[in-house]
């Protein structure tokens, strides 16, 4: 198991967490109920696998998830886990903005100082603990000043009731505003293979503030776990029946995605879920540079400069900086020369993670797998590609949804 610091804190969390949504029961949170004995076995297995991070919320089963965790954790397990829950959504009917009705409860969203303090007090009681490691504002709300919300959160930190703060269901500008009044350790946002756009938009701001980007919904409530799941029918009232993935032409596109993933699951002897989660973890694991260029030689000239500047700003050695710049330049020039009429843009990502640099290049040009060509191939300029293969640690390629995706590590 890999671990990471949450933002600027000293909290070391496993990159995969135990999600408390499914143990909440009710009409939305799970297909079946979970008892304390079941949960104890699940938590012990999680700890055995290296997972030390639990995420839940008061509204998961309107208190049921937190109560079950409280019963299971009190038996010598609390010290083994970082415990994360949320605030703002409550069913007390004592103020706030209407959010939804479910299972006979009216849930409101309230980010006032009074409501946040009450949320924390209630969660501490339900989970039978003296402190919460991370408290996340469940839904960022404009009805109360951010200064008031963060003021309450900072006071709870000083009192020792919480250790760190996060926000969720937010936008990059919300993080910027919250950071004016304190430190935000993480943002928790929906992000998946089917809906990556919010994350891609958020990554630069999260990286700028050294804030961890935490994903929910990576498996899209089961739709990315198996092709058979896509064709399921759901009972009336089931939230999965309201998702766009059950309708054509999106359903057909998801089946095509599974067709792309199938040979990879066979190659790596893993499930579709494993593959999707691995993809998710690779998207923003470290310090990232993301930019796009048009497929023109004029714009290609800026690739080398941007990468060298980024590496210098982040303390990357001169040798590794030059390797990254050369690899990116050689690959983009090759795409521009031979990508064909369909190639009109190139996405470039450079990720600095521990002692590894990963360069990801994506384009919508003609199908071209650089691993399958050698010096004697006349259609493409292979010399630059062979240079990249020689100076890099590894090169991987996949053609997915009519796009070339090349990943180079060094």
Q: List, by residue number, the catalytic residues.
A: 60
286 closest CA partner among 215, 358, 345: 358
Q: For every residue of 139-187, which 3-state class applies, written as one string? A: CCCCCCCHHHHHHHHHHHHHCCCEEEEEEECCCHHHHHHHHHHCCCCEE
CA angle at 36 for the pair 35 and 41, rounded to the nearest 5°: 105
Q: Output phi, psi for 373, to 5 deg.
A: -115, 150
Cis peptide upstream of residue 249 (ω within 30 degrees of 0) = yes
Rounded alpha-carbon distances, angstroms, from residue 120 to 88, 149, 157, 202, 298: 10, 13, 11, 27, 55
Judged on CB neighbours under 10 Å (0-12, 13-18, 19+), 206 is: buried
User: What is the residue-wise DSSP string for 274-287?
Assistant: HHHHHHHHHSSSSE
Residue 127: closest CA among 83, 79, 88 = 83
Name the E strands within 249-402: 287-294, 345-353, 356-363, 394-400
């Amino acid at each position: 198991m890999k671990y990471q610091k949450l933002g600027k804190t000293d909290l070391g969390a496993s990159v995969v967490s135990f999600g408390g949504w499914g143990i909440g029961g009710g009409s939305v949170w799970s297909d079946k109920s979970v008892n304390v004995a079941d949960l104890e076995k699940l938590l012990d297995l999680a700890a055995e696998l290296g997972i030390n991070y639990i995420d839940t919320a008061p509204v998961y089963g309107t208190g049921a998830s937190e109560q079950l965790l409280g019963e299971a954790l009190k038996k010598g397990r609390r010290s083994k886990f970082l415990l994360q829950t949320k605030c703002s959504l409550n069913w007390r009917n004592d103020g706030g903005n209407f959010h939804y009705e479910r299972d006979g409860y009216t849930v409101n969203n309230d980010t006032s100082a009074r409501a946040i303090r009450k949320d924390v007090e209630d969660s501490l009681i339900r989970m039978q603990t003296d402190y919460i490691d991370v408290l996340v504002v469940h839904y960022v709300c404009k009805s109360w000043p951010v200064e008031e919300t963060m003021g309450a959160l900072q006071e709870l930190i000083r009192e020792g009731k919480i250790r760190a703060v996060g926000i969720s269901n937010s936008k990059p500008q919300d993080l910027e505003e919250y950071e004016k009044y304190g430190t935000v350790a993480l943002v928790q946002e929906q992000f998946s293979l089917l809906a990556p756009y919010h994350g891609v938009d958020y990554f630069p701001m999260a990286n700028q503030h050294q804030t961890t980007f935490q994903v929910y919904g990576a498996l899209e409530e089961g739709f990315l776990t198996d092709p058979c799941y896509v064709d399921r029918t759901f009972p009336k009232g089931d939230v999965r029946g309201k998702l766009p993935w059950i309708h054509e032409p999106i359903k057909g596109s998801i089946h095509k995605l599974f067709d792309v993933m199938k040979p990879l699951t066979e190659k790596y002897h893993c499930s579709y879920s494993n593959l999707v989660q691995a993809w998710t973890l690779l998207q923003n694991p470290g310090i990232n540079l993301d930019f796009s260029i048009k497929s023109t030689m004029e714009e290609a000239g800026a690739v080398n400069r941007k990468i060298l500047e980024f590496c210098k700003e982040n303390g990357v050695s001169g040798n590794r900086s030059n390797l990254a710049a050369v690899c990116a330049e050689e690959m983009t020039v090759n795409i521009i020369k031979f990508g064909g009429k369909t190639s009109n843009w190139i996405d470039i990502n450079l990720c600095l993670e521990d002692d590894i640099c990963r360069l990801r290049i994506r384009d919508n040009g003609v199908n071209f797998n650089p691993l399958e060509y050698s010096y004697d191939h006349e259609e493409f300029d292979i010399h630059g590609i062979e240079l990249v293969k020689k100076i890099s640690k590894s090169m991987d390629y996949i053609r997915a949804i009519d796009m070339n995706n090349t990943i180079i590590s060094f």
